[in-house]
Amino acid sequence: MNPLEGKVALITGANRGIGRGVATCLAEDGADVLVNYRTHQQEAQEVVEAIIGMRRRALAWQADVGDRAQVEDMVKSAVNHFGKLDIAVANAAYSVRQAVVEAKWEDVQRVVNVSQFGVFHTCQFAARQMVEQGGGGKIIVISSIHAELPVARSAAYNMAKAAVNHLVATMANELARHHINVNAINPGWIDTPGERQFATEEEIRRGALRIPWGRLGTPRDIGRTVAFLASEHADYITGSCIRVDGGFMPGLTLPDGAP
């Protein structure tokens, strides 16, 4: 029997990149999946069709996670369609690269609204449903090594990711009595379509060689970690943050000649 057989998962930002990898990995392990997207409907439908091809149920659902009412409606719709909700993965995020002194306030607000408050909305409404239906549940937040590393020109994103990691610890504390596990994953440099907004193919290739593991991570690397945390094998893990970065953070070194 597949480890997630009979489980229902909701994944935000699941039409591409890490979210897509998570959706397909959970379906491989037996879960039915609500595939959330904000734009790129065709990509979301491709994910749905791939999951149906695995003989799992799937539904594409358009919602902007920065809009609280839309998130509430999405969770209710998932339950109406599938009958329950067992796993919620808060993956959707947004980033604008700007130095603090140059940052446009509307960009900062949008980053925080999606990458921090969108996670809060998703986790809160999922948790409410899981508490109401009983039987426990799994909530997993896709954070980032940006929560640990003060990457220049990413202040809004950095602080949003640091905040959601603390949210995970808080919710884990509050929900343990309901046997709802709440954990975070800090991906490192992952090869996704979004990376092409900030780096050229050559920069990505050269950057990958500096990672101790010798390559960028893949959406599937994150998806398999999510699948583990969503399974019964991780039932005693809660309030944790797992770094999946190929040794990126441990491999950081001082420049040559530095003390």
Mean pLDDT for 222-235 is 98
Residue 258 within any structural domain of the chain: no
Q: Taking 80 as the threshold, does the pLDDT of residue 127 lie above it?
A: yes
Domain that holds residue 231: 8-244
Quickly state the pLDDT bin for 256 (edges 50, 70, 90). low
Q: Which of 37, 94, 157, 236 is catalytic?
A: 157
Give the model's pLDDT for residue 8.
Answer: 99
How far CA 59 is from CA of 2, 32, 50, 171, 198, in Å, comes to: 20, 9, 11, 27, 31
Domain assignment of residue 78, yes or no: yes
The whole-chain average pLDDT of the chain stands at 96
| Cα 82 to the center of its chain, rounded Å | 21
Contact 47, 15 (CB under 8 A): yes
Q: What is the DSSP string of 28-62?
A: HTT-EEEEEESS-HHHHHHHHHHHHHTT--EEEEE
pLDDT of amino acid 195: 82
37 noted as active-site residue: no
Give dist(CA 159, CA 112) in Å, integer: 8
Check if the beta carbon of residue 257 is closer than 8 Å to that of residue 58. Answer: no
Q: What is the pLDDT of residue 44?
A: 98
Q: What is the pLDDT of residue 259?
A: 60
SS3 239: coil
Residue 3 lies in a domain: no
User: What does the pLDDT read at residue 257?
Assistant: 60
Phi-psi region of 87 (alpha: psi -120 to 50; beta: other; left: phi over 0): beta
Q: What is the CATH number of the domain that holds 124?
A: 3.40.50.720
Which pLDDT tens digit goes with each residue over 173-210? 999 999 999 999 999 999 998 888 878 889 888 889 99
| Nearest residue to 220 (alpha-carbon basis) of 88, 24, 43 | 24
Q: What is the pLDDT of residues 95-106, one digit of tens each?
A: 999 999 999 999
Is 254 part of a structural domain of the chain?
no
- Structural domain total, the chain: 1
Q: Is residue 117 part of a domain?
A: yes
Position 140 scores a pLDDT of 99
Predicted confidence band at 254 (pLDDT cuts at 50, 70, 90)? low
Closest by alpha carbon to 64, among 98, 37, 44?
Answer: 37
Residue 1, domain member (yes or no): no
Mean pLDDT, residues 118-129 taken together:
99
Over residues 74-82, mean pLDDT? 98
pLDDT, tens only, 56-67: 999 999 999 999
In a domain, 259, yes or no: no
Model pLDDT, residue 133: 98
CB 65 within 8 A of CB 110: no
Model confidence over 21-66: pLDDT tens digits?
A: 999 999 999 999 999 999 999 999 999 999 999 999 999 999 999 9
